[in-house]
Amino acid sequence: MDKMKNVSEKELTNFPVREIGPYIVTKLIGEGGMGKVWRAWRISEGSFKKILAIKTSKSSKKYIDLFMNEAKISARFEHENIVKTFDFGKTDDAFFLVMEYIRGIDLKEFILNVKNIPIDVFFFIIDRILSGVIYIHNFEGRQLVHRDINQKNILISWNGNVKISDFGITLPQHGDFDPFGKIGYVPPEVILGKGWSQLGDIWCIGVLMWEMLTSKKLFSGKGKEDLKKKILSCNIDPPSLFNKSVSEEIDKIVMNCLSRVPESRYISAERLQEEIRRTMSNLSIKPMYQEDFSLFISDHFSERIKKEDKEIAEEEAYVSIYAVEKNVKNIETKVENKITSKNSSSPSYYIFSPGDQKKERHHTEKKNDSGTKIRKIKRKKRDEKIFFTSSILGFVLGLTIGVFKGAYEIKSAEGLFKKGVDLAKERNFGQAKEFFQISADISDLREVRNIIDRLNTNYGKND
């Protein structure tokens, strides 16, 4: 992909960047009851960049406890239909959870844009959701219940995968602590105070299936109490009333999941998945594969895919430069502090320029009474001076090299490198490469050459 070409200087300076731990956060992509979800980046050694999603918690103890629960459970999940958790940490003002970033959309956006979802697509998505739910229900024998299966928590990637997210209230069934869930998907028995069981998740999947087949909300009302009354009434029309392509067999599956009595529903997610697959076979519906679903998505969301690809390319360009500039500032500060510390312990110490060195040598040679001793002291200071000055560029460029260049050469390479960074920010990548090349020739630093290689890869050697 032709990354960075569409990045303007204005765009580079106006990203809403913040840092959470070692992560660079670039965009708010979601917000829920317990916190916010951000798109973020991690830059590691060798300028390797990884795009991630970061969820931050609200500050109240109730939400922090749920957040900690999500971190402990989701970090151990390993399933292709479940969003993977990589890290957990705390900043000064919030806890955060680091997850895989899904390039794609949630089921809500999918339903809004596709409208009449083909039956084979419907079966593909539901089968993948059920695979994830089966894994959760059987995880470590803990009888977990997700409790929050809804359109926003089902993610669909551009490559055709389907993943379940958000495990903040995923807890064992019939526990002392029994969070409610999203009201439009809460089963009748929970509203009546009987608590969640795994059969409650079957109800949630039934609501999802009904909404996918009709492109409508199953329960809507003026407020929570109105919604509760409608759920408890269970006055539900079959999907076929709104979608003539829905067969009687599919109606039966959906309405079974939406039974008011939990024991009348499918006894497990495994049993529901078996029935889904058996019905597909009976109706002679050819199974869809992930590659087929990916093509379907590409046909319906081509502009949306381009938009996200462009956003991510712009962010990747920005965080690369942001990381370099941050490294420059951090290392310069460290070196300045070290020099300041040295000055405070030895007031006569300072960093010499080449002109200063010449003057100092001339001044020293005129001191006949202690010339030899003073020259030794000055030579030692020059050696220290060259070491510290050389260190500045070595650290600024994020490297450690075994043999330090001369102070004058290193300073020149540093200036050329910074000029290249400024030109890259202005999208003048051709000239930027020239400055990086000269800096690399002077300093002979591998990482500068890596930057040049990356620019050549993205723009070609003649751009």
Note the pLDDT of residue 443.
Answer: 63
| Mean pLDDT along residues 33-58 | 84
| Mean pLDDT along residues 315-341 | 68
Distance of CA 237 to the CA centre of its chain: 40
Distance from C-alpha of 14 to C-alpha of 9, rounded to nearest angstrom: 9
Number of H helices, E strands in the chain: 16, 11
Cα–Cα distance list, 435 to 39, 280, 327 (Å): 32, 62, 19
* 3-class state of residue 37 by DSSP: strand
What are the pLDDT digits (tens) for 166-221? Answer: 998 999 998 777 788 899 999 999 999 999 999 999 999 999 999 999 999 999 88
Q: Looking at 283-353, list the stretches that DSSP marks H as alpha helix, in order from N- to C-terminal side.
A: 290-300, 302-345
pLDDT band at 11 (very low <50, low <70, confident <90, very high): very low
| Mean pLDDT along residues 77-84 | 97
Q: Write down the pTM of the prediction.
A: 0.72
What are the pLDDT digits (tens) for 111-138? Answer: 999 989 999 999 999 999 999 999 999 9
What are the pLDDT digits (tens) for 422-437? Answer: 777 666 777 777 777 7
In the chain, % of residues over pLDDT 90: 50
Asked if residues 180 and 186 have their Cβ atoms less than 8 Å apart, the reply is yes
Question: Domain 104-300 sits in which CATH superfamily?
Answer: Transferase(Phosphotransferase) domain 1 (1.10.510.10)
Note the pLDDT of residue 175.
Answer: 77
Mean pLDDT across the chain: 80
Distance from C-alpha of 125 to C-alpha of 160, rounded to nearest angstrom: 9
Beta-carbon contacts of 344 under 8 Å, excluding residues fewer than 6 positions away, are: none
Note the pLDDT of residue 341.
Answer: 63
Query: How many other C-beta atoms are found inside a 10 Å radius of the C-beta of residue 316?
Result: 18
Q: Which of 5, 9, 94, 126 is nearest to 422 (CA)?
A: 9
Rg of the chain, C-alpha, whole Å: 31
Same CATH topology for 9-100 and 104-300? no
Residue 197, CB-side half-sphere exposure with 13 Å CA sphere:
12
Domain boundaries, the chain: 9-100, 104-300, 346-459
Distance from C-alpha of 174 to C-alpha of 185, rounded to nearest angstrom: 18
| Mean pLDDT along residues 304-312 | 94
Q: Which residue has the tokens 């602590």?
A: 177
Distance from C-alpha of 391 to C-alpha of 401, rounded to nearest angstrom: 9
Annotation: CATH topology of 9-100: Phosphorylase Kinase; domain 1 (3.30.200)
